[in-house]
Structure 1
Amino acid sequence: MHTILPFLLAMIAAIVLLNMWAAKLKIAYPILLVVAGLLISFIPGLPVVKINPDLIFFLFLPPLLFEAAWTISFKEMKKWWRIIGSFAFLVVFFTALSVALVTNHLIPGFTIALGFLLGGIVSPPDAVSTGAITKFVKIPKSTSAILEGESLLNDASSLIIFRFALVAVGTGQFIWQEAAVSFLWMVIGGVGIGLLLAWIFVQAHKYLPTDAPSDIALTLIEPYFMYWIAEQVHSSGVLAVVAGGLFMSSKRLIFLNSASRIRGYSVWESFVFILNGIVFLIIGLELPEIVGGLRSKGIPLGTAIGYGLLVTGVLIAARIISSYAAMAATYIFRPSVAPRASSNSRTWLMPLLLGWTGMRGVVSLAAALAIPVKYDGNVIPHRDLILFITFVVILLTLLVQGLTLPYFIKRTQLFTGLYAEPEEELSHAVKRQLKQHIYHFLKGKYEHELQGHKGVEKMLEHWEEKTKAADDDWMSEKNKVIFVEMLESQRQFLVELNKDPAINEEIIRRQLYQIDLEEERLKVI
């Protein structure tokens, strides 16, 4: 403990410093973290980083998936559900199948089952990497919504493939009928358990006398409960966390007060940042041990690198092919929503961009490290080779695609003047409507109180002209009640306004956050 604790603290400090450096260089921080982990691993005397394969999923996946489900726009997911669903399920299966067929033919001793095991590991793109990279360039909200929605769901589909392939490799048999029943239970059971537990947690937050610290503490352990209980009954823990997280996110205004939402946002942002940083550092730190395992099996390092390059090429090609297939299907079946650009050449470059966003990361590493040495008493063959190939895939996609994607977007100017969403205009329009709503709310409900009541008149003046009163002495307890009621009315107005498809949900969420800050300010007046 005295050896590992300073090392862990140093890791967190390195993560923070590398993130600041990445922001200055305007590159995605996962790229620097992986390279730094690789360089740090060569420092002599450092403790060997080993994680129990049985715990890797449980430690990292639940909170990462839960946080992603809370931050994603469910409205945008519903809008683009067809393409999100196809990329999250059909494309993942096509990618895993492609990897299985290619590795079965070109890697000696690789069976179809082993190929599917590797394919399930490396098929899901990483949301953290994509988000960290695209924040330096402006992309349409629709594109980011598709990428976020895909990354949230493809983890579940890829890990289902991983689980079935692991059973086939470990037992040497695969019964389709049993697999189909098991698949249905994993999907239906996982979603059902997640929704049920989420409903229970919502009721607990609503009716128990919780405060902000206890609310936040509960949200930190809830995804682990969802994942663990679902896994205990052999359903999908990933789907349970995703479904539960989406449900709780949609009810956040009901069961969390303003203090819990404001403080919880900061806590979760820091917590997930540290988790992601540790995983990306581990990717680099694990390489020497993986290479040692290859050498013990007599596999030349150059040959293993070649296999990694091969699988990376298959992944990129499969995603690009899938992107063009999806675009062609859209033009055939739903031409009204097909993407348009200023020229045909730019239009047909868009699937290439979507195909180039397939950086791999946290989930792939977690799945690879979770491969047990033995399954059902049988040794899993080529485990070290699969780990090494996964490392090469993560490193290459982060470096090659991650470093070139922003340049590719800027160079091709695919979105110039086309998908530029008038976010600033929309934001101003929402604010104008909100101020009108506040004015009419006060005028309509408290018309008598306004007459001759200096405090409420100042309140009305504050919102009508959007200017702050000279001092806060006028905020009596009665006025605070009116103010809080007014803030709640604003929330309900924004929730209704969010039903408009033309309104960007991110704008609504920012306004809701401002309302929470206003409510918290009242508590210190």
Structure 2
Amino acid sequence: MLDHFPFYLTLIVLIVLLIMLSNKIKVAYPVLLVLGGLTMSFIPFIPVMKIDPELIFIIFLPPLLYEAAWTNSWKELWHWRRIIGSFAFIVVFLTAIAVAFIANSIIPGFSLALGFLLGGIVSPPDAVSASVILKLVKAPKRMSSILEGESLLNDASSLIIFRFAMIAVATGQFIWYEAALSFGWMIIGGIGTGLIVGLLFLKAHKWLPTDVNMDIILTLVTPYAMYIAAEEVHASGVLAVVSGGLFLSYFRHHFLTGSSRLSGENVWQSLIFLLNGLVFLLIGLDLPEIISGLQEEGFGFYHATAYGLFITFVLIIGRMIAAYGALITTLFASHFIKVADSNPGLKAPLLLGWTGMRGVVSLAAALSIPVTLDSGMPFPHRNLILYITFIVILVTLVLQGLTLPFLIKKVKLPNFNDHLPEEETKNLLREALAKESLNYLTENHKVEVEHSFHLQKLATKWEKQMTADEDPNLSERTKLIYGNILEKQRQLLIQMNNKEKHIDEEIIRKFLHQIDLEEEKLKLE
């Protein structure tokens, strides 16, 4: 480990350089990282990076899932719940079934249980790649909301399939009623464990005399605690992290101070940046070891590549069919129930179907397959499964990742008017905040406003909807009043976000971020 430490540092520097390059040439960084890792794998004397398969999920998945849940919008998740739920569960299950039967029929000696194992690994699309691409080009908010919501849940459904398939491969049998009970417990137990652990950490933040550093450390521990606790009771650790993360994100302004939120955001951005970079680089670096394992299993390179390409083709076509199937279902259901959009058009499903890049979760699941069974026998076709997963990730990332920006520009999606225009939203929020602030001042501190230059200046600023620099010599009393006003503004924004479905929560969060910054400025006065 210590001998390779300079190499690990070099990898981190390489990640930074490749992401800088991706920003320069406007290409999604997962694509360049995979290609960079693949290129490095052919360089002689490059150390082979090996990670204990049992630790893959624990090291990478909890923080990645937790950060995704924390930054996701519960409002958007609920608004698009039907399309998100159908893609995260129904489409994942159908995809796994399709892969299972096709792999069983075309690959010699590949059992149906192994087919479901492979299906569970490659069925969930990776939202990191899609979200990065959507940030590079102008795309409707609904696309990113649906993809981010889908990614939170499809990981859980695919890994549940993966777990049951592992049991079937190891034991050679599958008892459906036991599986049904286990499936129910994994969902209910996972969600329940995540909420309970989340509530415990929420109370810890509120009741314990923590400072900013302690709060950040607790947030880093939280996803691991959720995941491990759920796995200990044989529930879904992924669902525990997702449910707990959404719960704590929703109440973030009730238990974390503004300083903790600001500092924690910076720490988490750096951590997720590093973890994502390492995972995508690992995908490319793993190729030589996977190919050598293929030879040991007796599979030729070209045959294995053909299997991988065919499975990739099945996944791409299957998602396109699912996207237009969802359109047909929506049009039919709109006659009987209220749906988020009764006529999404033909263009949106095309883009939704083309955002099926695979990545982090597929790699982690494949690498977590044990080398041997409990009996000591080698795990059947482990290296072939790893290679097919590698082909799926590489082809979908490069093919769909490089063409998606062009497709988005070419298709030219209409403005769906899911949210108010950004400038209109900002003006609406500024006006509401100014009104709330002035009402608070006139109702609670009318006399003090008349005798305080600073409060008069604040009142004038809100009345004119202008931004003015703060005088550096604020009195303690003025700071207290201004702090109370900022808290009133924060509560108003949270209420507006909950009540007004046409206001984009991302803009609300930007305003909340500005309030946190304003509070920090008060502390430095």
Residues 173, 513 of structure 1: alpha-carbon distance in 2 compared, 3 angstrom cutoff:
same
Match of 2:303 in 1: 303
Q: Is the 8 A contact 2:280 2:360 kept in 1?
A: yes
Residues 338, 306 of structure 1: alpha-carbon distance in 2 compared, 3 angstrom cutoff:
same
Match of 2:159 in 1: 159
Residues 338, 464 of structure 1: alpha-carbon distance in 2 compared, 3 angstrom cutoff:
closer
Q: Is the 8 A contact 2:290 2:387 kept in 1?
A: yes
Alpha-carbon shift at residue 295 of structure 1 (Å): 1.2
In the alignment, the residues of structure 1 paired with residue 222 and residue 467 of structure 2 have an alpha-carbon distance, to the nearest angstrom, of 42
Q: Is the 8 A contact 1:67 1:245 kept in 2?
A: yes
Match of 2:354 in 1: 356
Q: Which AA in structure 2 matches 1:372?
A: P
Q: Is the 8 A contact 1:101 1:112 kept in 2?
A: yes
Alpha-carbon shift at residue 211 of structure 1 (Å): 0.8
Match of 2:401 in 1: 402
Q: Is the 8 A contact 2:331 2:343 kept in 1?
A: no
In the alignment, the residues of structure 1 paired with residue 394 and residue 329 of structure 2 have an alpha-carbon distance, to the nearest angstrom, of 32
In the alignment, the residues of structure 1 paired with residue 347 and residue 456 of structure 2 have an alpha-carbon distance, to the nearest angstrom, of 58
In the alignment, the residues of structure 2 paired with residue 3 and residue 44 of structure 1 have an alpha-carbon distance, to the nearest angstrom, of 17
Alpha-carbon shift at residue 461 of structure 1 (Å): 2.3
In the alignment, the residues of structure 2 paired with residue 244 and residue 452 of structure 1 have an alpha-carbon distance, to the nearest angstrom, of 48
Residues 460, 488 of structure 1: alpha-carbon distance in 2 compared, 3 angstrom cutoff:
same
Q: Which AA in structure 1 matches 2:7?
A: F
Alpha-carbon shift at residue 424 of structure 1 (Å): 2.3
TM-score by length of 2: 0.96
Residues 187, 337 of structure 1: alpha-carbon distance in 2 compared, 3 angstrom cutoff:
closer
Match of 1:462 in 2: 461
In the alignment, the residues of structure 2 paired with residue 406 and residue 524 of structure 1 have an alpha-carbon distance, to the nearest angstrom, of 44
Match of 1:442 in 2: 441
Residues 311, 495 of structure 1: alpha-carbon distance in 2 compared, 3 angstrom cutoff:
same
Q: Is the 8 A contact 2:58 2:224 kept in 1?
A: yes
Write the deviation string for residues 296-315 of structure 1: whole angstroms up to 9, x where unpaired. Answer: 22211011110010000110
In the alignment, the residues of structure 2 paired with residue 522 and residue 416 of structure 1 have an alpha-carbon distance, to the nearest angstrom, of 40
Q: Is the 8 A contact 1:93 1:158 kept in 2?
A: yes
Match of 2:365 in 1: 367
Residues 420, 235 of structure 1: alpha-carbon distance in 2 compared, 3 angstrom cutoff:
closer
Match of 2:183 in 1: 183
Write the deviation string for residues 121-168 of structure 1: whole angstroms up to 9, x where unpaired. Answer: 000000111111111111111221111000000000000000000110
Q: Is the 8 A contact 1:462 1:469 kept in 2?
A: no
Match of 1:344 in 2: none
Q: Is the 8 A contact 2:486 2:515 kept in 1?
A: yes
Q: Which moved more, 1:90-99 or 1:457-466?
A: 457-466
1:41 aligns with 2:37: no
Q: Is the 8 A contact 1:156 1:236 kept in 2?
A: yes
Q: Is the 8 A contact 2:99 2:116 kept in 1?
A: yes
In the alignment, the residues of structure 1 paired with residue 199 and residue 150 of structure 2 have an alpha-carbon distance, to the nearest angstrom, of 25
Q: Is the 8 A contact 1:40 1:285 kept in 2?
A: yes
In the alignment, the residues of structure 2 paired with residue 72 and residue 360 of structure 1 have an alpha-carbon distance, to the nearest angstrom, of 20
Q: Which moved more, 1:272-281 or 1:225-234?
A: 225-234
Write the deviation string for residues 322-345 of structure 1: whole angstroms up to 9, x where unpaired. Answer: 11111101001125644647xxxx
1:509 aligns with 2:474: no
Alpha-carbon shift at residue 4 of structure 1 (Å): 1.9
Q: Unaligned stretches of 5+ in structure 1?
A: 342-346
Alpha-carbon shift at residue 376 of structure 1 (Å): 2.6
Alpha-carbon shift at residue 374 of structure 1 (Å): 2.0
Match of 2:374 in 1: 376
Q: Identity over the aligned pairs, expressed in percent?
A: 56
In the alignment, the residues of structure 2 paired with residue 356 and residue 48 of structure 1 have an alpha-carbon distance, to the nearest angstrom, of 33
Structure 1 residues 43-442: aligned runs within 5 Å: 43-334=43-334, 337-338=340-341, 340=343, 347-377=345-375, 378-415=377-414, 422-442=421-441
Q: Which AA in structure 1 matches 2:371?
A: V
Alignment root-mean-square deviation, CA:
1.4
Alpha-carbon shift at residue 364 of structure 1 (Å): 0.1
Write the deviation string for residues 36-92 of structure 1: whole angstroms up to 9, x where unpaired. Answer: 000111111121111100000000000000000000010001111011111000000
Write the deviation string for residues 334-378 of structure 1: whole angstroms up to 9, x where unpaired. Answer: 25644647xxxxx22321211100000000000000001123324
Q: Which moved more, 1:274-283 or 1:289-298?
A: 289-298
SS in 1 for 2:451: coil
SS in 1 for 2:281: helix
Match of 1:32 in 2: 32
Q: Which AA in structure 2 matches 1:315?
A: L
Q: Unaligned stretches of 5+ in structure 2?
A: none
Residues 197, 399 of structure 1: alpha-carbon distance in 2 compared, 3 angstrom cutoff:
same
Residues 489, 382 of structure 1: alpha-carbon distance in 2 compared, 3 angstrom cutoff:
same
Q: Is the 8 A contact 2:41 2:288 kept in 1?
A: yes
